């Protein structure tokens, strides 16, 4: 039996400006209030890792960097613990951007729950799992 590894290594972090630009110009998205997942399949030129994920919190809603960093940390942690659902279903590499889009201050449990629902919604939308 294969062991689940709950890691988020540097190779999975979305850093490429080119890929991020492609995400926001031609990416599809899935929303589960207050989170939004923007994604595109990666082509061979962009591939570093099988999946790459970035997180973002708007300065419009959280003026203080400490607050933005807190919510980015929550989203990364929720993704890290649930990425096995994604990686187990994906057949090709994707780039993802997780966005926190509200001024509401959710708890970690709420962010975790929304992340799980968002991943499920993405898998359904892409036809990677049966309803």
Distance, CA of 27 to chain centre: 13
Contact 9, 52 (CB under 8 A): no
pLDDT of residue 21: 94
- Token look-up 């449990």 returns 109
Number of domains into which the chain is organized: 1
Instruction: Tell whether 38 is covered by a domain.
Output: yes
Instruction: Tell whether 5 is covered by a domain.
Output: no
Domain of 18: which CATH number? 3.30.230.10
Angle at the Cα of 65 from the Cα atoms of 53 and 70, rounded to 5 degrees: 55
Instruction: Tell whether 71 is covered by a domain.
Output: yes
d(C-alpha 121, C-alpha 44), whole Å: 26
Instruction: Tell whether 3 is covered by a domain.
Output: no
Residues 6+ apart with CB under 8 A from 34: 100, 101, 102, 104, 106, 114
Instruction: Tell whether 128 is covered by a domain.
Output: no
Helix orientation angle between 108-125 and 65-89, rounded to the nearest 10 degrees: 40
pLDDT tens for the chain, 131 residues long, are: 445 678 888 888 998 899 899 999 999 999 999 999 999 988 766 566 678 999 999 999 999 999 999 999 999 999 999 988 888 888 888 899 999 999 999 999 999 999 999 999 999 988 877 66
Instruction: Tell whether 84 is covered by a domain.
Output: yes
Instruction: Tell whether 4 is covered by a domain.
Output: no
pLDDT of residue 45: 60
DSSP 34-102: TEEEEEEEPPGGG-SSSEEEEEEE-TTT--SHHHHHHHHHHHHHHHHHHHHHHHHH-SS-EEEEEEE--
pTM of this structure: 0.87
pLDDT of residue 90: 85
Q: Which structural domain range is residue 68 located in?
A: 12-123
Instruction: Tell whether 80 is covered by a domain.
Output: yes
């Amino acid at each position: 039996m294969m062991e689940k590894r709950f890691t988020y290594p540097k190779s999975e972090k979305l850093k490429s400006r080119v890929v991020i630009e492609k995400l926001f110009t031609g990416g599809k998205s899935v929303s589960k209030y207050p989170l939004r997942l923007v994604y595109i399949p990666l082509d061979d030129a962009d591939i570093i890792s099988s999946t790459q994920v970035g997180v973002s919190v708007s300065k419009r809603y959280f003026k203080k960097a400490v607050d933005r960093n807190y919510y980015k940390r929550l989203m990364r942690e929720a993704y890290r613990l649930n990425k096995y659902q994604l990686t187990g279903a994906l057949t090709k590499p994707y780039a993802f951007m997780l966005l926190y889009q509200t001024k509401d201050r959710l708890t970690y449990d709420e962010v975790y729950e929304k992340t799980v629902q968002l991943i499920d919604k993405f898998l359904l939308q892409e036809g990677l799992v049966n309803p």
